[in-house]
Each structure stands twice: as C-alpha cells, then as structure tokens.
Structure 1
Amino acid sequence: MLEVTRKLVELLDLSPIGADHFQGDSEDLGFPNVFGGQVLGQALMAASRTVEDRLCHSLHAYFLRPGNHSMPIDYEVQRVRDGGSFSVRRVIARQDGKEILTGSMSFQVAEQGFEHQLTMPDAPGPDALRSEQEWGRILAPQMPERMRETLTRDRPIEIRPVDPVNPLKPEKRPPHKQSWFRAQGPLPDDPVLHRCLLTYASDFQFLGTAMNPHGLTFMSKNLQVASLDHAIWFHREFRMDDWLLYDKDSPSASAGRGFNRGNFFKQDGTLVASTTQEALIRQR
C-alpha cells in the first residue's frame, strides 16, 4: 500500500469518543473547505461501527455547512432500527458544535434474490488513458502557482478521466463524464473499508457533470458551486484496488441547481454501485 493510500485508510479509521460517538481528522486537498467525500466516507464508517454482520446497501446525506479542514469532525450515530434483515442508522457530523452533515444509512444481511442490471457503457480501458495527476503535470506550467501543488500532488485514489476537460479552455459538451477509479496499492480484505473508500471517491468529478453543457469548470469566474446532497446504493461486492468505471450523466439543471447520476462498473461489466447528487451551480 502506498503511503498516500495508507494515510487515507487511517483517515477513515475513526477514534471512539463515547457511546456511538466517533471523531475523525480532516485532510487538506487544496480546496477551500473539507472535501465532501471525506465526510461521507467517515460518516459511513461511523455508522458501520455500530452494526454487526450487515453491510451498507444505501446512504442518503445532506451537506449542511462547509467543513473546516483544519479541525477534526465529531460523528454522532443514532440507532434508528434493528430489524430481522435491515438496520438503519442516522449520523450527524459536527464541527465546533455545528452540524455540517446529516445522513441515514441502511444495512442488510447477506441475501440472494432476483438479478438484472444495466449493460456497461462503452469506454476505453484504463491502460490507454493518462491519470488526473499526469494531466495536472501537463497543465501545471499554465496554472496559477497556488494551484500547481494541488494539481500534481500524489493521490490515494488514481483517477483516469476519459476525454478530460481543459479547465483553462472549457467548451460546451454533452452532460456526460467517464473516469476509471482505483486505490493506489493493495487494500485489506474488509468490505466495510471498500464501501467507505468508494463513498469517499464518488464525490470526485461528479458535480462537474452538470457544468459540461454550459462550458464551465471550477476555475470559471463568478461561479458558486457546492454539493447539496449525495446518495449511494451498493448493489454487489467489489474491491477499490481493482479498476472501476464511474459513468456519470446530468439529466437536468435548473433554479441554480444541477442534478447528477452515476454508476460504478467492474472491468467485466458488473454494476456494483449507483450514485446521485444535487449541487448548487450559481452564477454570481
């Protein structure tokens, strides 16, 4: 396991601070606020620590306030229900006594049932693509100095975008994005950790899907963007140290909000997880 990946695994390994209360550190990825995927992944880990012999099959969360990456985050888990097959947990994330995220997670015992899925869309394989970090090195000389370290830093999740957008010269495109995702280095055989890592990674390159048709990126001037909510459904088992295709589209943008959907596929075409997110996209 690479050092950056080990640090991410440790970031998700929360410390107990009381009955059903946990605390996690924050990381600075060069964004103004805490990366939303970090809070989502830690919230899922906190809820998972209160459930035995059941894995999360769905997560629904709302981002309430921007997080401060210089402060730890406290997670309170509320045990809503433990049934014969399903358990539900509510999680509240706080910093400085204020809620920054609230969410609900449902867990299910292993079960067999009917099977069908969407066909995996066409996409070039990851071996034919450059990583986000490689693209960052190419663009770095043209970028403001304050952004160069963020663009070229080592990353625990390797992302290889299909047909990447040049943030300096964005053009209007269809509301669709594809990227291959994989953790850097082998991971432990812990299905809870793999779910938390996918949750963490699912917030990367998601919001931008709704900006494609408008020729906008995070570097566009006079633009206010923020994730408002996030949902994930886990369908089948997977490993985050194997390549997964993240196929995303945006069916609608209106009223200052953009709606995004995504599906994660294994290389063999197996659909393993689905995501949705609504985001604020406001022209100032």
Structure 2
Amino acid sequence: MPASLTELLDLLELEQLEVGLFRGRQPQNSMLKRVFGGQVAAQAVVAAQNTVPDDRHLHSLHIYFILGGDPSIPIVYDVENVRDGRSFTTRRVAARQHGMIIFYMTASFQVEEPGFEHQDPMPEVPSPDDAIPLGEIVKARGAEYAEQWSREWSSFDLRYVGDNRDEAARDASGRLVVQRLWFKASGELPASRLIHNAAFTYISDLSLLGASLVPHGVYIGSPSVQPASLDHVIWFHRPVAVDGWMLYDQSSPSASGARGLSTARVFDERGALVATVAQEGLIRRVSS
C-alpha cells in the first residue's frame, strides 16, 4: 500500500482512457499479495465522481468485492451512467483485471439541499493524544511487523482507543461488541470534497471487519482465521475532512455462517456524525 500520503494522492489520480473509462495505478513497493479493497473502492469513487456534475456530491455507495485484485497490474474502471435526475445522479462502476470483473460499486450523488437535522451523540472516549498509535501495537509483535506497517500504512495516523473483548457487560448503549479508533490523514489534503471522500473510503476498509471478532477473542491478523471483505457500504451524512481527527466507532451485531457483520458511526473531533459504514466479511475458522 502507499507508504506516504503523497503516494496515496498519486493513486487517486486516474488516467482517463475514454468517456467513462479510467485506469488506476498500483503502489510501487507494496508487499501485499492482493490489492487492498479500500484502494479499489477509493479509485472507483474518483472514477464515478469524474462523470458527475460538480454540484452533486457523493452521499452513498454500495460495494461488492468479487475477486482479489492483482497488485502487479493496473485496474480499469468502467463507469455506467445509470441515471441523471433533477436532484440525484446514480453511477455503477465495474473494476476489471485480466478480463474479469473484480469489484462492483453503485454510487449515488445529490445536489445540496436543506432538510431535517438530527444525529446520534458522540460517545465519550479518550482523545487522540491519549490513544495508542496502532504502529506501537504492531511493533510489540516484532520489528518485521513494525517495518511492514510503516511501509504499507503510513499515509494515515491511526490511534487505537480500545475494545470490550475482555468485558462481559455491554457498553452504555447496549452494544455487545465495541471497537474504537481515531484516524486522520498523515498531512494536509487538497481542499477537494472528492479527494476527502475518496481518502475516507480508502481507510474505512482497514479495521472494520476486525470488530466482528472482538467477542471471540480473535484478532484479524490471527493465523486461526481467514478474513476477506465481501461487501461494503458508506452513507455520507455530512462533509468529511479526513485531514482532521475522526472517531471510528465500530460494533458488530452478528456473526454466523463464517461471516461477520460490522457497522460503524464516524464522528469528527467536534462531535458531528459525518458517516455510517457497514461491512460483511468472511471470518472463516482455519484448522491448525
């Protein structure tokens, strides 16, 4: 994955091949065996937005991860114009490699308009300064893991707030599973709503599935589990500013059939609920 924010921004610069057809590059020195799902999703967001009028902004996306991407070749994004309405615009994006579709996304865009307003309150949590950098947690596993983390994930600063895997009681809201972290880009981003939406989409895929393993005392990197993102949904409620701190308040209402469902509320540092995210993924037990 990109070793810096600059490299991430480079990945979000797609080459337009034809009307509605784009090509996305890959990171140069990634050690991942499959393309990170958040990268495909972020590039698809850029491709779709580039076919939409400037006054319409992304408010929801629904994704299916179909095949693992090959990190050695570019990805081609084919944008289908589904609908152009007076208030809403819909696009469907197919990502292709080796002549096969590896990913589908349907995205909806809306012109800004006033309306009713309400939101959940932000939970009381330690500040980013009081949270633990995820790199420090990884470093405790060994120097090689720390080096890989730095190489793959330095485009974002991530701080672990904690989870309730060791607690028998539910949290104050009644949720059995809670996992929380702060995140922000490792630097300032351009003043572009598209770039912030795409960067948010990118990082939203990193830790969410792990919440479904919290009540089972298993971590997402454990050799006892085979994880994979299956689908992913984001609803953007308010504009996101990813170069400021955001709280990723994750929970998991259910796991069954070797699949885990995780949902999350995302708040900015001022307490505004900016997005809701949901993901179902494979969490298959691996026999030792």
Superposition CA RMSD, Å: 2.0
Offset at residue 119 of structure 1 (A): 0.7
Q: How do residues 96-135 of structure 1 correspond to structure 2 at under 5 angstroms? A: 96-135=98-137
Match of 2:15 in 1: 15
| Unaligned 5+ runs, structure 2 | 169-175
Q: Which residue of 2 is the match for residue 89 of structure 1? A: 91
1:35 aligns with 2:26: no
Aligned to 1:151: 149
Does the 8 Å contact 2:96/2:103 carry over to 1? yes
Residues 63, 104 of structure 2: 8 Å contact kept: yes
> 1:38 offset after TM fit, Å?
0.4
Q: What's the CA shift for 1:171?
A: 6.5
Percent of matched pairs sharing the same residue = 43
- Read off the aligned partner of 1:268 and give its amino acid letter: R
Shift of residue 164 of structure 1? Answer: 6.8
Equivalent AA in structure 1 for residue 6 of structure 2: R
Structure 1 pair 248/58, CA: closer, same or farther in 2 (3 Å)?
Answer: same
Q: For the residues of structure 1 that align with 2:229 and 2:280, how far apart are their CA atoms?
A: 6
CA 1:63–1:126 in structure 2 vs 1: closer, same or farther (change >3 Å)?
Answer: same
Amino acid in structure 1 at the alignment position of 2:154: R
Measured in 1, the distance between the counterparts of 2:191 and 2:221 equals 39
- Alignment partner of 1:163: what SS? strand
Q: Partner letter of residue 180 of structure 2? A: Q
Q: Residue type of the partner of 1:17?
A: L
| Structure 1 match to 2:271 | 269
Change (3 A) 1:151 1:172: farther
2:167 and 2:207 map into 1 onto residues whose CA distance is 16
Give the alignment's TM-score, normalised by structure 1.
Answer: 0.91
SS at match of 2:283: strand
Contact (CA 8 Å) 1:60, 1:105: kept in 2 or not?
Answer: yes
**1:172 Cα offset (Å):** 8.3
Q: How far apart are residue 175 of structure 1 and its match? A: 2.0
**What is the TM-score when the length of structure 2 is the normalising length?**
0.90
Is the contact between residue 163 and residue 214 of structure 2 (CA under 8 Å) also seen in structure 1? Answer: no
**What does the per-residue CA deviation read over 1:219-255, in whole Å, with 9 as the maximum and x for residues that have no partner?**
3234221000000000011211100001000000011
What CA distance in whole angstroms lies between the structure 2 residues aligned with 1:218 and 1:252?
16
Residue 6 (str. 1) matches residue 2 (str. 2): no
What CA deviation, in whole Å up to 9, does each residue of 1:176-220 have, x standing for no partner?
A: 110101001111110011000000010111110001111112332
For 2:239, the aligned partner's letter is: E
Look up the equivalent residue of 1:33 and give its one-letter code. Answer: R
Helix, strand or coil for the counterpart of 2:141? helix
Aligned to 2:171: none
Question: Which structure 1 residue ranges, 5 or more long, are not aligned?
Answer: none
- Structure 1 pair 94–3 and aligned structure 2 pair: CA distance change class (3 A): closer
- 8 Å contact kept, 1:137–1:152: no
Query: Which one of the candidate residues 188, 191, 195 is aligned to 1:189?
Result: 191
